Structure 1
């Protein structure tokens, strides 16, 4: 009995595993949460997530936010975090890729196009008062990709005054899903998750920079953080990401 009590007391006194803190792009929400559950099931190490636009996260890290791992939706936001000394040198890795699409509310009767080009009647599709929902290009990667694509296709100057600038790509998606915007530009993975939107067209990959999701450990990373980073590169994690429509990095 004494031995049993000592064992019980030892178990009660044992500290709980430290929770890894992952800051990731909003477009990764469901896929990353599933990957986190799979990792915890394998290792018993808990993982917590904070999702936002990559530019916002990069500035949070600069301000000292307590994160172990940063997964960005673009190279620019990661470059900013590196420049500000928020990232542990030598830990940056390319994780995933994605594609850019135009979406409309599911109730829309507009005929989708296979590939958007410079002849696409974007303003006509918006109507006299409609706005184009995008992540704010000032700090949202999806918005920057959208600006690049529209500029390449010669559509940016005309549509720029008609933007509905959202705080992240999921907020832009929600504007379209709720019918508050007739069109929006989001990632293909986001469009696939929301039953309230329909695909209106795809943007050519050559119209914007490759959509890349780099990840890196922060300078505050716990000793266990590299294990989760390695897991995200594993076959098990890649299968999870593939189910959500993410592609290998480009």
Structure 2
């Protein structure tokens, strides 16, 4: 466990985290390790310190994230990146939005074990979370959905000027074309695709940053499920491909 503690200490130093962060991040790892029903396959602290903690905290390199006061983590799952960001940003309010009650229960227990008081667990689908609409500085999403679908979930929640930060692996040109076409309908613009290497072996990792530059049309959010069933941008991307042939 000493090696894991050393990695946590390095993360705290690297990101300039508050004094309490070392113990709180350790408590998040312990919550994973101690609950065999935790909603993730990565529970061993020796793996989770990189896969979950370092991978979550890498977003602090973006000033929009480090300066945010309201963050919504969509499809929060086991609580990553939302819970580590709550540790790192104690003055920010972090909403972890998760529609599955069992996962919400784990997130709430993990947050309590780490003594986090700036976390709200929202047991809703993103499309149905009325209290979040137009209020969020940063929306995060990790291992959730295709980028265009995430953009549709995020856009109605973001204030103008706010950003979506989506964790993705190897870049996919088709996915990115569809996302750009969807963003154009949602009041978003693709701002940056940043390669990151949060831990050893994290190959082909990218943060996709989309900024809200205009109001999202009133027809959004569509009813729950429609973003996946009928994704925006697919027709426009197909038309573009045909024109290029």
Pairwise TM-score range, normalised by the shorter structure:
under 0.3
**TM-score, with length taken from structure 2:** 0.27
Rg larger for: 1
Instruction: Give the number of the structure with larger relative contact order, counting CA–CA contacts within 8 Å between residues 6 or more apart.
Output: 1
